[in-house]
Amino acid sequence: MRLLRPGQNLLSKVKLEGVKQASEERLEALYQQKPNSKFPLPKLGIYQFGTLFYDSVRIRREINKDQRKFDAKIQAARPDSVKVGKLLTKREQHVQRHQLALDKGNAIMRIGEAPVVYDTARTRATVQQISTFLKSQGFFRSHVSATDTVEDRQVTVTLHVTEGKPFTYERLDYDIADSAVAHLVLANQAASLLRLHDRYNEEVIGQERSRLETLLKNSGYYDFRSQYITLEADTSYTPGTVRLRTFITNPGPNEPHHIYTIRDVNFLTDAGVTRFGVTRDTIVRDSVRYLAYKHRFSTKVLDRKLAIRPNQRYNLQNTILTQRQLADLDIFRFNTVSYRRVRTTEGDTTTRQLDAFINASPTKKYQETTELGATYVSTLLGPFTNVRLKIRNVFGGAEVLELGVRAGFEGQYNRLTGSPVLTTQLGANVSLILPQFLVPWQPNRYLTRYNPKTRFNGTYTYVRRPEYTRTNLEGTYDYIWQRSAYHQYVLTPVDLSLVNASRIAPYFQKQLDSLALTGSPLIRSFTQQFVPSMNATSLYNSNDFNQTRDARYYRLFAEIGGLTRSLYQGILNDRNIQVYNFARLAVDYRRYIKLAPQSFFVYRFNGGVAHALSSTTVDRTNPETGETTKIQQYIIPYDKYFFAGGASSVRAWRPRRLGPGSYATKYNVEQDGQSVLLRNYNVEQPGEVLLEGNLEYRFPVYSFIKGALFTDFGNVWSLQKNEFRQGAEFKINQFYKQFAVGSGIGIRLDFTFLILRLDIATKVYDPSAEGSNWVLRKFSLRSGNPNNINQDSPTAFNLGIGYPF
């Protein structure tokens, strides 16, 4: 209260009463004054704390000092205009920085909020705004008033709303001067947004005007505008009801609306290029004229992307579709579609024609991207680099070739020598994208509206660590198409992968054998495997890169593999290469709820199941006796298992270290001549069932700094019973008790083009903990020693780029 002047009061609370049918959220958005935010940060308290360090006299003194200093430098720099210009810019920057502090306070004050001083004029404005909004929603007999109460210089405003019975549509009539337009509108009346007995709503009326305008523009009416449409409401027809009349007027007296057809289509494929004294060459394909100084793009491919054709009626939807399909080719910097009216002949009052002009400016053929960085793990600095090269229009058919090479080193503790070493990770990938489906028959032109693509992709990965050397060679053949701008499908009829572990350290092999005895499938990751499969993905995402929309995301993935293994299993077994058959299903759903311009509540549910289709005969070796026996197991390739824990999962656990279920991996060690069981926290924990969820509240802190509060829960389970892994099996009457729970806070630096993230999460409930599963009491900011496999860390620090989901 010390910041308030005499006679001023602090707005403490605004209450809304009496709202039953209208949207409270919409009404609250109309408040002209809102109390200081208290969650998740006490903004007023932060502001008050910042005032302790605020000195406006000192800031003004600094401004005057800077101005005098720069004035002297500018005077000395004359007549050098370049130096003077630089000094003027620097002076402006210094003054602006000080002026910001003078006007809005120091950095701490700007994180907080100045006290909201109660203003009765703004309360009256709020009442007026709510009253106007309610009437626009059909509550014509509504009444709004406000009362305020003051206690200890804190004001509580109560807004009293009496809605009354909303008015509904009793009749929907049309008055359309042009008979052709009337026929079209009435024929499409089923798509109208207005329905009898619906509540009057001016927003829906505005949307209906836009729908009618789009309908007519898609039917050839190039000159039609929404100004010709008027909707008139008559509340005197029947008490409590509205008679809504839609008027569509003509452009002028005795002048109907004209339908335009397209005469010529001209496609300029090198817009922006100028060569004096040289005329562009013209190629005609399917009645479309393609013009360029040198034709670099296949007119056959471009022709498939055009939805605009000569002798067609003008259509706004086809215009937008053409622009989108050309942009999706990724060979043009920009493209525009414009129309020019064709002058009519004398005496012709009915024929109207347009010439279409498509201008596309080619983007650069080669695009190279280089990324450099480093990690700091186990006291060692590990540099890495990624180099990507994109080559457009490789063969002249708008193909895109992408090449990538990556190399990196990362520190790791060597348990054999007791000292840190650098591990090596190398990789390369090549991808060729064709702008159509590659099929043995001629694809229908209708498919082009779905932006079809064919992709060939090859990837090679090499990893060398003290324990092993492992390679993975993978090739895929994909069909990609889009149902809408937000919805994409990927069908992969061919996905082939060859995994090989060329070197395994003896001590690591012994550890793998020990884990295999307990049923852990980790050893399968270090055998030679051939993994043939096919899969399909449906991906819907209505958000943008910076996740600033009220949006939804879902991903459905289905995969089946190894169906033909009986044809070549014998040949591959002779070469010690394993093939497994399996089926896998994964679902990921996310909801982004926009609470304020920069505040969001986000939740996510992620799940999946994977299982072998038939059993496989495998060898099991006892590491103590060396005895090998053959057993039948339901095995899937290691990379097809699910994992939990990490920066985009349950963040309080290390990556891929959570689960399965309540099972804890232990091993025997000799201590003082006795065998002792110790917990191993550093073993990956694969599962055949995944269930996890995330709840996150995102809010602004200051400028580009954003904050987050979150809770994660989830786990993985096995579908197979194993007496050595008690608690790992998925059971209907047990799984919900085995969810691990973690909570934490996050800081995100949003630079628009890049988002850096730090999430700090601590364990709340650990289903595998000894003693009490509620482990929040063990909270500590010490992350522990990651090189000690017997030591757990209650808190995890997760660094990343982009949002976790």
DSSP 717-730: EBSS--TTSTT-B-
Note whether 226 and 270 are same-domain residues.
Answer: no
Q: Report the mean per-residue pLDDT for the chain.
A: 89
Rounded CA separation 299/284 (Å): 9
Collapse the DSSP code of 3 into the 3-class scheme (helix H, G, I; strand E, B; otherwise coil) and give the result. Answer: coil
Q: Tokens at residue 665, please?
A: 């991996």
* Average pLDDT value for residue range 283-300: 94
**Residue 616: pLDDT band by 50, 70, 90 thresholds?**
confident
* Average pLDDT value for residue range 114-129: 95
* Average pLDDT value for residue range 136-140: 96
Asked if pLDDT for residue 657 goes beyond 80, the answer is: yes
**pLDDT tens sequence across 502-523:** 888 888 888 787 777 777 777 7
Length of the chain: 805
**Residue 315: which domain range?**
260-362
Interacting residues of 524 by C-beta distance below 8 A, sequence separation 6+:
578, 635, 637, 638
**pLDDT tens sequence across 51-99:** 999 998 999 998 899 889 988 988 888 888 888 888 889 989 888 988 8
Note whether 672 and 791 are same-domain residues.
Answer: yes
**pLDDT tens sequence across 721-743:** 877 788 889 999 999 999 999 99
**Residue 32: pLDDT band by 50, 70, 90 thresholds?**
very high
Bigger pLDDT: 288 or 676? 288
Would residue 787 count as lying in a domain? yes
**Residue 791: pLDDT band by 50, 70, 90 thresholds?**
low
Note whether 344 and 197 are same-domain residues.
Answer: no
Q: Tokens at residue 25, please?
A: 């959220």
Would residue 376 count as lying in a domain? no
* Average pLDDT value for residue range 707-729: 90
Note whether 242 and 301 are same-domain residues.
Answer: no
Note whether 540 and 646 are same-domain residues.
Answer: yes
CA atoms within 13 A on the CB side of 566: 4
pLDDT at 230: 95
**Residue 485: pLDDT band by 50, 70, 90 thresholds?**
confident
Rounded CA separation 657/715 (Å): 10
Report the CATH number at residue 573: 2.40.160.50
**Residue 359: pLDDT band by 50, 70, 90 thresholds?**
very high
Asked if pLDDT for residue 7 goes beyond 90, the answer is: no
**Residue 621: pLDDT band by 50, 70, 90 thresholds?**
low
Report the CATH number at residue 317: 3.10.20.310
Rounded CA separation 461/475 (Å): 12
**pLDDT tens sequence across 409-436:** 887 766 555 567 888 999 999 999 999 9
**Residue 669: pLDDT band by 50, 70, 90 thresholds?**
low
Would residue 679 count as lying in a domain? yes
Note whether 455 and 572 are same-domain residues.
Answer: yes
Note whether 576 and 721 are same-domain residues.
Answer: yes
Note whether 206 and 291 are same-domain residues.
Answer: no
Would residue 9 count as lying in a domain? no
Would residue 409 count as lying in a domain? no
Rounded CA separation 582/741 (Å): 30
Asked if pLDDT for residue 525 goes beyond 80, the answer is: no
Which one, of 675, 616, 687, 682, lies nearest residue 653 by Cα? Answer: 682
Would residue 574 count as lying in a domain? yes
8-state DSSP, 449:
G
User: At how many degrees (to 10) do helices 202-217 and 179-187 cross?
Assistant: 110
Q: Tokens at residue 164, please?
A: 């009354």
Domain end (from 218, 248, 278): 248
Bigger pLDDT: 280 or 373? 280
**pLDDT tens sequence across 191-244:** 999 999 999 999 999 999 999 999 999 999 999 999 999 999 999 888 999 999
Domains held by the chain: number: 3
Would residue 82 count as lying in a domain? no
**Residue 274: pLDDT band by 50, 70, 90 thresholds?**
confident
Asked if pLDDT for residue 754 goes beyond 90, the answer is: no
Which one, of 653, 659, 712, 723, lies nearest residue 688 by Cα? Answer: 659
* Average pLDDT value for residue range 772-779: 84
Interacting residues of 271 by C-beta distance below 8 A, sequence separation 6+:
359, 360, 361
**pLDDT tens sequence across 150-172:** 999 999 999 999 999 999 999 99
Note whether 322 and 240 are same-domain residues.
Answer: no
pLDDT at 289: 96
Note whether 631 and 775 are same-domain residues.
Answer: yes
* Average pLDDT value for residue range 530-550: 93
Domain end (from 201, 218, 248): 248
pLDDT at 416: 56
**Residue 368: pLDDT band by 50, 70, 90 thresholds?**
very high
Would residue 123 count as lying in a domain? no
Percent of all residues in the chain with a pLDDT value above 70, rounded to a whole number: 94
Domain end (from 362, 382, 404): 362
Name beta bridge partners: 763: 742
pLDDT at 567: 83
**Residue 184: pLDDT band by 50, 70, 90 thresholds?**
very high
Note whether 188 and 210 are same-domain residues.
Answer: yes
pLDDT at 77: 87
8-state DSSP, 256:
P
CA angle 246-251-255, nearest 5°?
110
Asked if pLDDT for residue 379 goes beyond 90, the answer is: no
Note whether 326 and 229 are same-domain residues.
Answer: no
pLDDT at 24: 92
8-state DSSP, 286:
T
